[in-house]
Amino acid sequence: MLDARVEVISNEEIAADFYLARLRAPQIAAAQPGQFVEVQTSETTAPFLRLPLSICGVDKQAGTADILFEDMGPKTRALSLIRPGQEIACLGPLGKGFTAPAAGQRVVLVGGGIGIPPLLFLGERLCRAGHQVCLLAGARVGSKHLPDAMLQAAAGIVRQATDDGSVGHHGLVTDLLTEELAADASAAVYTCGPHGMMAAVTTVCSQAQVACQASLEEYMACGFGVCVGCVVEVEPEAGGELSPYLQYSRVCVDGPVFDAHRVKWE
């Protein structure tokens, strides 16, 4: 983990209100899928706290890292206005990432909205390792889906769902997951997105008795466990017990990736 000033190489809108920024950040380029960074979006005290963002991809040789975000508030608006050549403070890589599936195991990635970025990073790595990867991407409307080229770089099979039916399946992304697991219940599932979506994904996986890892999207003010503002309640591991202290885990240091079946979603 390192806090450094990094150069913004590019910062472009790639879908409706979705921006992809590339950072010249050698320390972040060593990150693993599922890890995140904390970026300072302004040189002033407003916004005061940093913005936690999942790492979307890295290029170790070039020393670059990509972050993808949606313009939906003061911090993301400020970040969207940063131009190439400017520098920002960036802390990371932070957190514990995804655990790799068994050799040769088929993988299903389930993402919704801004939960897609860490899955793109993971999918690209797994494809290179020889896994068969299927990406299920959900969005409210078609304009919120990321470009096809980005999705296809992370999976051999890409299926999309939209709430309004404008692109792909008209309905929930969990409908597609149910179909995929009905066809192959030996797959490993990885998910990231809205809380309700991940809870539903976990339910589908529980019914199919399929392993599932979830990257949680709690707000992480500090990013390294000091503020204890991002806790999530978890179940004990099989055969184990939790003390009152360990009943809650800090998403930023104990996660953000958890065994989805241990998370208390309600």
User: In the numeric block, which tokens belong to residue 163?
Assistant: 């709430």
The pLDDT score that the predictor gives to residue 242 is: 61
Residue corresponding to tokens 């970040």 = 79
Residue type for position 137:
A
Identify the pLDDT of residue 180. 97
DSSP state of 236: P
| Residue type for position 225 | G
Angle at 224 (CA atoms; ends 219, 226), nearest 5 degrees: 90
Q: Are 212 and 205 in contact (CB under 8 A)?
A: yes
Parallel, antiparallel, or unpaired for β 248-250 and 87-94?
A: unpaired
Q: How confident is the model at residue 241 (pLDDT cuts 50, 70, 90)?
A: low
pLDDT at 204 over 90: yes
In this structure, what are the phi and psi dihedrals at residue 67, rounded to the nearest 5 degrees? -125, 145
Q: How confident is the model at residue 245 (pLDDT cuts 50, 70, 90)?
A: low
Tens-place pLDDT, residues 61-113 = 999 999 999 999 999 999 999 999 999 999 999 999 999 999 999 999 999 98
The chain-wide mean pLDDT, for the chain, equals 93
**Mean pLDDT score, 222-237:** 88
pLDDT given for residue 47 in this prediction? 80
> Which of left, alpha, beta for 265 (phi over 0: left; psi -120 to 50: alpha)?
alpha
CB count in 10 Å sphere of residue 156: 12
Q: Would the pLDDT of 246 be above 80?
A: no
Domains of the chain (ranges plus CATH)?
2-94 (2.40.30.10), 98-217 (3.40.50.80), 218-258 (2.10.240)
What share of the chain has pLDDT > 90, as a percent? 85
C-alpha 209: how far from its chain's center? 23
Q: Is 231 exposed, middle or buried (0-12, 13-18, 19+ CB in 10 A)?
A: middle
Beta bridge partners of 55: 67
Cis ω before 47 (30° cut-off from 0): yes
pLDDT confidence of residue 239: 59
